[in-house]
């Protein structure tokens, strides 16, 4: 299979579906409960349509922009995702290298398979961001921040919407008990010998949690998932974020925000950016898409706090819509995971290139040769406002 024949993110998703056993694919692809949020995250983009400008010189087109104060090839970063090593060996490192080569930041999750130190070492030169889950044992967060600083992470993303693990039914159906695959799922795994050989065989099991390994109780190194489940902290509140602001000297970002009152609070604490996000439809089902509040958050907070967004971005034109509505940057989650699960580092690179090429092509076709002209222009129409159904005669 030559990757050049995979034209879009959906093509990579289809290949990832073939190459992964069902339980791993559904971990990556699935959402919470009836997956209404997951579907809504995609369908919402058709609410806006472009109105391009004619006869603009777009012979020099660039998507370059600053992201949290630092220049990037495009206002795009790789979203934090946990347990990537189940998709492809060392996926965290491969994704970080793909981000570095494309000139965009990479965010390493607390739940990553490989550690901060490993990724910094193996993907030298990457702009590394770290995503923190604040666990019950606050000493862990303190130590993780120290480690993140020591490997030159300039940005900390604190995720707020995962204090209770989402009810992901599509994923759960593969298990007969926690962490115990059902018989059909085991048979399905056996039908994926190349995945077994790649992912399971070298370590005689699924990958662990690189960042959390030092904190797992002795003798429980193989039981990281249970440890983490017990450590999720539902009592987490805004004072923890205030403490974080005191403790973290770099850029501080809060992720999982879906209403303006929370943006207000984050700004008051001195947070540098919010990520408007519903966690890709993996947490609370039936929640709004962050795209629905983007314009109003931009109107109220632009200039005071940077606005990042994720959840459902699969096309360059999706990214353009968010930027035109006021986002300072877009985090890309599943598309890169489809890429890495389909073909390792080449697949991750291919996914990122597809999105960045589509982004540049979209800007050119719109008549906005760069991000500044996109932001200054008036290129977007809301379908509901502009094309309201005609009233009956
Ligand atoms: C497989 C998977 C694992 C994830 N793990 C994390 C995580 O460890 N920390 C986090 O803050 N968000 C996590 N997320 C959420 C992403 O950061 C991001 O919000 C989401 O993927 C955006 O939705 P999209 O991928 O559909 O665009 C995960 C998402 C996926 C798909």
Calculate mean pLDDT across residues 74-98. 97
Closest Cα to residue 269, out of 258, 280, 254? 254
DSSP code string of 275-290: EE--GGGTSSTTPPPT
Name the closest-CA residue to atom 13, ligand 1.
81
Q: From the CA of 332, give the closest atom in ligand 1.
A: 27
Q: From the CA of 310, give the closest atom in ligand 1.
A: 22
Q: Which residue has the higher pLDDT, 231 or 383?
A: 231
Q: From the CA of 159, give the closest atom in ligand 1.
A: 11
Calculate mean pLDDT across residues 179-201. 96
pLDDT tens readout for residues 279-309: 999 999 999 999 999 999 999 999 999 999 9
Mutate to test the pocket of ligand 1, among 77, 107, 280, 332 (most ligand atoms within 8 A of CB): 280
Q: Is 299 part of any domain?
A: yes
Name the closest-CA residue to atom 6, ligand 1.
81
What pLDDT does 222 receive?
64
Q: Return all residues near 216 (Cβ < 8 A) that are at least 6 apart.
A: 209, 223, 224, 227
Q: Which residue has the higher pLDDT, 222 or 351?
A: 351
25: CATH: 3.20.20.70
Q: Is 389 part of any domain?
A: no
Task: Find the length of the chain.
Answer: 393
| pLDDT at 393 exceeding the cut of 80 | no
- Average pLDDT across the chain, whole number: 94
Calculate mean pLDDT across residues 382-392. 58
Q: Is 390 part of any domain?
A: no
Q: How far is the CA of 311 from the centre of ligand 1 (A)?
A: 8
Q: Return all residues near 91 (Cβ < 8 A) that are at least 6 apart.
A: 84, 85, 113, 337, 340, 341, 344, 348
Q: Is 387 part of any domain?
A: no
Q: Is 208 part of any domain?
A: no
Ligand 1 site residues (CB inside 6 A) read 27-28, 41, 79-82, 109, 111, 131, 159, 255, 277, 279-280, 282, 310-313, 333-334, 337
Q: How far is the CA of 61 from the centre of ligand 1 (A)?
A: 30
Which active-site residues does the annotation give?
279
Q: Is 188 part of any domain?
A: no
Tell me the H-state helices in 123-252: 138-150, 169-172, 183-190, 193-195, 224-231, 238-247
| pLDDT at 112 exceeding the cut of 70 | yes
pLDDT tens readout for residues 325-380: 999 999 999 999 999 999 999 999 999 999 999 999 999 999 999 999 999 999 99
Calculate mean pLDDT across residues 312-323. 98
Q: How far is the CA of 82 from the centre of ligand 1 (A)?
A: 7
Token pair belonging to 99:
């981000």
Name the closest-CA residue to atom 7, ligand 1.
81
Share of the chain above pLDDT 90, in %: 87
DSSP state of 206: -
| pLDDT at 219 exceeding the cut of 80 | no
Total domains in the chain come to 1
Look-up of token digits 């606050």: 138
pLDDT bracket for residue 223 (50, 70, 90): low
Q: How far is the CA of 280 from the centre of ligand 1 (A)?
A: 6
Mutate to test the pocket of ligand 1, among 282, 287, 319, 351 (most ligand atoms within 8 A of CB): 282
Q: Write out the residue range of the structural domain in which residue 83 sits.
A: 3-169+227-382
Q: From the CA of 110, give the closest atom in ligand 1.
A: 8
Q: From the CA of 27, give the closest atom in ligand 1.
A: 1
Q: Return all residues near 361 (Cβ < 8 A) that are at least 6 apart.
A: 316
Q: Is 190 part of any domain?
A: no
Mutate to test the pocket of ligand 1, among 32, 279, 314, 340 (most ligand atoms within 8 A of CB): 279
pLDDT tens readout for residues 59-80: 999 999 999 999 999 999 999 9
Q: Is 186 part of any domain?
A: no
Name the closest-CA residue to atom 19, ligand 1.
279
């Amino acid at each position: 299979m030559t990757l050049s024949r995979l034209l879009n993110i959906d093509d990579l998703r289809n290949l990832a579906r073939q190459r992964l056993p069902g339980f791993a694919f559904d971990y990556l692809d699935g959402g919470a409960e009836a997956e209404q949020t997951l579907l809504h995250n995609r369908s919402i983009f058709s609410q806006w349509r472009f109105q391009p400008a004619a006869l603009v010189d777009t012979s020099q087109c660039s998507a370059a922009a600053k992201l949290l104060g630092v220049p990037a090839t495009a206002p795009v970063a790789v979203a934090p995702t946990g347990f990537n090593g189940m998709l492809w060996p060392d996926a965290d490192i491969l994704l970080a290298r793909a981000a570095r080569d494309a000139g965009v930041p990479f965010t390493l999750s607390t739940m990553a398979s490989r550690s901060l130190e490993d990724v910094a070492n193996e993907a030298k030169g990457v702009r590394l961001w770290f995503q923190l889950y604040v666990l019950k044992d606050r000493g862990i967060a303190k130590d993780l921040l120290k480690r993140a600083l020591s490997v030159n992470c300039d940005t900390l993303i604190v995720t707020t919407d995962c204090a209770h693990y989402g009810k992901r039914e599509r994923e759960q159906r593969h298990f007969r008990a926690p962490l115990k695959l059902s018989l059909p799922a085991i048979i399905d795994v056996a039908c994926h010998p190349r995945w077994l050989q790649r992912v399971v065989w070298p370590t005689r099991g699924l990958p662990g949690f690189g960042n959390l390994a030092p904190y797992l109780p002795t003798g429980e190194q193989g039981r990281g998932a249970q440890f983490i489940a017990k450590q999720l902290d539902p009592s987490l509140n805004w004072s923890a974020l205030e403490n974080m602001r005191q403790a973290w000297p770099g850029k501080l970002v809060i992720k999982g925000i879906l209403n303006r009152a929370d943006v207000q609070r984050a700004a008051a604490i001195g947070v540098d950016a919010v990520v408007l996000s519903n966690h890709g439809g993996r947490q609370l089902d039936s929640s709004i898409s962050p795209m629905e509040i983007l314009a109003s958050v931009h109107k109220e907070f632009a200039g005071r706090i940077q606005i990042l967004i994720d959840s459902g971005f699969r096309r360059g034109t999706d990214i353009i819509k968010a930027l035109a509505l006021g986002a300072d940057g877009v985090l890309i989650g599943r598309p890169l995971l489809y890429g890495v699960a389909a073909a390792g580092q080449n697949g991750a690179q291919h996914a990122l290139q597809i999105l960045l090429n589509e982004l540049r092509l979209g800007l050119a076709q719109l008549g906005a040769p760069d991000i500044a002209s996109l932001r200054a222009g008036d290129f977007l129409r809301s379908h509901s406002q502009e094309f309201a159904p005609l009233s009956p005669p």
